[in-house]
């Protein structure tokens, strides 16, 4: 439970030399300030993308056309995905990385602070451009976030805006990833060996390598779309000797590792939270590291499971089916180790632990439906139905988003020096968990019954479960409003906490005052401190 005792007075602010006013943010080079900006940006995008989801679920509440025309509906599905993936989840992870990696490895800041500033400030421009495409003739991109040609080439004025914004997001991610790799490889305190690093740092290191490897592939793919549209090339046009299926191969060579970019840091957070609230070291630390690395490796050789129905040789289908199923092995190792960590532990259920436990159960449901989708003959039935929508939302909402929530609730007392309202956080957890299941579980039934995805209207037999799903969506959306409220309250008037906000917490970040000094570790932590933190 939280240690609310006021820590011994610390005068770290006297060495801050931090700029004030708008300069502090626009010229920010401090890892905590940039982390905060990433997190605020991600939260804003979460609500913008969430509002788009509300439009989608409102239209699907009952059959027939109610509120939006089909073009706007398709724009909403496309923009919801782009905003949530590139604007909410990825920046939230980068924000958490910025806040935590220097503190966890014993460094004063990130290795490349100006690059850090640049990586962040690209994002508001990218998303202003993308979101402003809602107001151009022809409307926002509406061909799905996967941007398959030839459909995407039919977009109007929004098409180049989409391509340019994707380039900017990619550049931001790559620069952020370089910063993470360089920080972890060079800025670790003496004694912080690779196998003493916290799991969150490990998962981010592997995620950063994935980002550097696959974001350029996306850039290449969208550049080919651009030249097909404006410069007379025919990469993806059959009439000119091109092949639209080639785009799908290139896109998913990026797209599948991207799924792991979204989820691996959540594995890291859960691996921090569960030991803390089980009051036991993580079970099988090294196995966890190797499992994450294996998952990352396998993510490069499974991409075509997203496109089994395009017509590929049987041998290719078999290869991609079996390689996909292989991912269940390291994932199983992780789920087993998290469970074994709790075994005979002295468990308590504070908000971060609740979110981590919900992650464990609900992400596993997403994993199992993924295994179902990996079976080629079964996939012919599920392809492009709501079953797929249910599957990836289980992976990304109670998976990635709950991982972010667990991380924020875990480290918020460290960042602010204040404890949040635990009762309100518990309400946030229970409402989110109940409604996320009401929202997404019925979509499995809709998909199995044959309801296609990305349609604004549907046959009447799908009405009941769509109504249930929409009610779940409204409940989930409303309950998220508690989150910024709770953070605001925490910053303004939360009870003071000591260095170690959670009694069972281990790791270098808990050796620093709460809130930590402007430059995290100005003196490298001692080996004894590092050894105490790395008690896995």
Partner 1 sequence: MAQEDPTLRQRVRRSALFWLAVAAAFYFGFIALTLIRGSR
Residue 29 as a binder of partner 1 (CB under 8 A): the answer is: no
Count, residues near partner 1 per rule CB under 8 A: 34
Annotated catalytic, 331? yes
Q: Among 271, 299, 432, 479, which one carries the catalytic annotation?
A: 271
Q: Among 94, 133, 173, 207, which one carries the catalytic annotation?
A: 173
How far from 130 is each of 219, 221, 238, 437, 450, CA to CA, in Å?
16, 18, 29, 30, 32
Whether 97 and 265 have beta carbons less than 8 Å apart is answered as yes
Residue 434: CB minimum distance to partner 1, A: 43
Among 202, 235, 252, 458, binds partner 1 (CB under 8 A): 235
Q: Which stretch binds partner 1 (CB under 8 A): 222-230, 273-281, 370-378, 440-448?
A: 222-230
Residue 519: CB minimum distance to partner 1, A: 7
Annotated catalytic, 286? no
Annotated catalytic, 256? yes
Cα torsion 521, 270, 286, 174: sign = negative
How far from 529 is each of 97, 201, 220, CA to CA, in Å?
21, 17, 46
Per-residue contact string for residues 507-536; x = within reach of partner 1 by CB under 8 A: ------------x-xx-x------------
Residue 144 as a binder of partner 1 (CB under 8 A): the answer is: no
Pick between residue 247 and residue 420 the one whose CB is nearest to partner 1: 247
Pick between residue 46 and residue 521 the one whose CB is nearest to partner 1: 521
Whether 184 and 249 have beta carbons less than 8 Å apart is answered as no
Annotated catalytic, 77? no
How far from 78 is each of 13, 83, 164, 229, CA to CA, in Å?
45, 9, 16, 19
Whether 18 and 518 have beta carbons less than 8 Å apart is answered as yes
Annotated catalytic, 305? yes
Residue 245 as a binder of partner 1 (CB under 8 A): the answer is: no
Cα torsion 127, 132, 134, 139: sign = negative
Among 34, 205, 219, 288, binds partner 1 (CB under 8 A): 219
Residue 224 as a binder of partner 1 (CB under 8 A): the answer is: yes
Please report, as residue ranges, which positions from 258 to 277 form the binding site for partner 1 (by CB under 8 A): none
Q: Which stretch binds partner 1 (CB under 8 A): 136-144, 175-183, 282-290, 528-536?
A: 175-183
Residue 476: CB minimum distance to partner 1, A: 37
DSSP annotation of 65: -
Here the tokens at position 96 are 């958490």
Q: Which stretch binds partner 1 (CB under 8 A): 184-192, 304-312, 379-387, 502-510?
A: 184-192
Residue 32: CB minimum distance to partner 1, A: 16
How far is it, in rounded angstroms, from Cα 282 to Cα 203? 15
CB neighbour class for 371 (10 Å; exposed up to 12, middle 13-18, buried from 19): middle
Annotated catalytic, 458? no
Annotated catalytic, 109? yes
Pick between residue 163 and residue 374 the one whose CB is nearest to partner 1: 163
Q: Which stretch binds partner 1 (CB under 8 A): 179-187, 432-440, 447-455, 490-498?
A: 179-187
Among 68, 213, 246, 325, binds partner 1 (CB under 8 A): 213
DSSP string, 353-418: HHHHHHHHHHHHHHHHHHHHHHSHHHHHHHTTBHHHHHHHHHHIIIIIIHHHHHHHHHHHHHHHSE
Please report, as residue ranges, which positions from 75 to 134 form the binding site for partner 1 (by CB under 8 A): 107-109, 111-112, 115
Q: Among 32, 167, 334, 500, which one carries the catalytic annotation?
A: 334
Q: Which residues pair with 350 in a beta bridge?
A: none
Annotated catalytic, 258? yes
How far is it, in rounded angstroms, from Cα 375 to Cα 364? 17
Q: Among 196, 306, 393, 414, which one carries the catalytic annotation?
A: 306
Q: Which helix (H) or strand (E) holds 419?
A: strand 418-419
How far is it, in rounded angstroms, from Cα 158 to Cα 300? 31
Residue 511: CB minimum distance to partner 1, A: 16
Annotated catalytic, 334? yes
DSSP annotation of 281: P
CA 471 remoteness from chain centre? 24
Please give the sequence-ordered ranges of beta strands (E in DSSP) within 231-383, or none if there are none.
none
| Half-sphere CA count of 509, side-chain side, radius 13 A | 27
Residue 185 as a binder of partner 1 (CB under 8 A): the answer is: yes
Residue 498 as a binder of partner 1 (CB under 8 A): the answer is: no
DSSP string, 422-483: HHHHHHHHHHHHHHHHHHHHHHHHHHHTTPBSS-S---GGGHHHHHHHHHHHHHHHHHTTHH
Residue 204 as a binder of partner 1 (CB under 8 A): the answer is: no
Pick between residue 132 and residue 186 the one whose CB is nearest to partner 1: 186
Residue 16: CB minimum distance to partner 1, A: 13
Annotated catalytic, 237? no
Pick between residue 209 and residue 445 the one whose CB is nearest to partner 1: 209
How far from 182 is each of 94, 265, 529, CA to CA, in Å?
14, 18, 23
Pick between residue 179 and residue 443 the one whose CB is nearest to partner 1: 179
State the virtual CA torsion across 237, 238, 244, 249 in degrees, nearest 10.
-120
Annotated catalytic, 229? no
Whether 294 and 332 have beta carbons less than 8 Å apart is answered as no
Q: Which residues are catalytic?
A: 80, 109, 145, 172-173, 256, 258, 260, 271, 305-306, 331, 334, 453
Instruction: Give the interface with partner 1 as residue ranges (CB under 8 A).
Output: 107-109, 111-112, 115, 170-171, 174, 177-178, 181-182, 185-187, 189, 212-213, 215-217, 219-220, 223-224, 227, 231, 233, 235, 519, 521-522, 524
């Amino acid at each position: 439970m939280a240690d609310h005792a006021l820590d011994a007075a610390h005068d770290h602010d006297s060495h801050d030399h931090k700029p004030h006013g708008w300069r502090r943010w626009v010229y920010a080079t401090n890892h905590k300030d940039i982390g905060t900006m990433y997190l605020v940006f991600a939260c804003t995008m979460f609500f913008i993308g969430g509002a788009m989801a509300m439009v989608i679920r409102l239209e699907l509440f009952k059959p027939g056309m109610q509120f939006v025309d089909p073009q706007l509906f398709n724009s909403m599905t496309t923009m919801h995905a782009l905003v949530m993936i590139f604007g909410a989840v990825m920046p939230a992870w980068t924000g958490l990385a910025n806040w935590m990696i220097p503190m966890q490895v014993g460094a004063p800041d990130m290795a490349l602070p100006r690059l850090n500033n640049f990586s962040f400030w690209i994002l508001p421009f990218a998303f202003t451009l993308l979101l402003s495409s809602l107001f151009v003739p022809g409307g926002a991109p509406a061909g799905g976030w996967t941007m398959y040609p030839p459909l995407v080439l039919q977009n109007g004025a929004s098409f180049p805006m989409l391509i340019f914004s994707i380039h900017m997001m990619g550049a931001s991610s790559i620069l952020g990833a370089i910063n993470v790799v360089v920080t972890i490889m060079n800025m670790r305190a003496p004694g912080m060996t690779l196998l003493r690093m916290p799991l969150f740092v490990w998962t981010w290191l592997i995620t950063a390598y994935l980002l550097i490897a696959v974001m350029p592939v996306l850039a290449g793919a969208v550049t080919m779309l651009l030249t097909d549209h404006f410069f007379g090339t025919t990469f993806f046009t059959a009439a000119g000797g091109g092949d639209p299926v080639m785009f799908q191969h290139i896109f998913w060579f990026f797209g599948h590792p991207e799924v792991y970019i979204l989820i691996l840091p959540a594995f890291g957070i859960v691996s921090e939270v569960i030991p803390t609230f089980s009051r036991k070291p993580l079970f099988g630390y090294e196995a966890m590291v190797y499992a994450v690395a294996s998952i990352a490796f396998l993510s490069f050789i499974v991409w075509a499971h997203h496109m089994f129905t395009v017509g590929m040789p049987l041998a290719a289908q078999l290869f991609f089916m079996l390689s996909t199923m292989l991912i269940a092995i390291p994932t199983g190792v992780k789920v087993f180790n998290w469970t074994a960590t709790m075994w005979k532990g002295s468990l308590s259920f504070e908000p971060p632990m609740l979110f981590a436990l919900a992650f464990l159960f609900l992400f596993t449901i997403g994993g199992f439906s993924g295994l179902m989708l990996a079976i080629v003959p079964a996939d012919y039935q599920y392809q492009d139905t709501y079953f797929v929508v249910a599957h990836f939302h289980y992976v990304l909402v109670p998976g990635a988003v709950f991982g972010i929530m667990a991380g924020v609730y875990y480290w918020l007392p460290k960042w602010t020096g204040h404890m949040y309202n635990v009762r309100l956080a518990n309400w946030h957890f229970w409402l989110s968990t109940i409604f996320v299941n009401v929202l997404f579980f019925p979509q499995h039934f809709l998909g199995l019954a044959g309801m296609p995805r990305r349609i604004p209207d549907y046959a009447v037999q799908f009405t009941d479960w769509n109504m249930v799903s929409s009610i779940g969506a409204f409940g989930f959306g409303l309950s998220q409003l508690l989150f910024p409220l709770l953070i605001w309250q925490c910053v303004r008037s939360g009870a003071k906490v000591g260095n170690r906000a959670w009694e069972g917490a281990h790791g270098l970040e808990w050796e620093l005052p709460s809130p930590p000094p402007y430059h995290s570790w100005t003196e490298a932590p001692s080996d004894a401190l590092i050894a105490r933190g790395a008690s896995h």
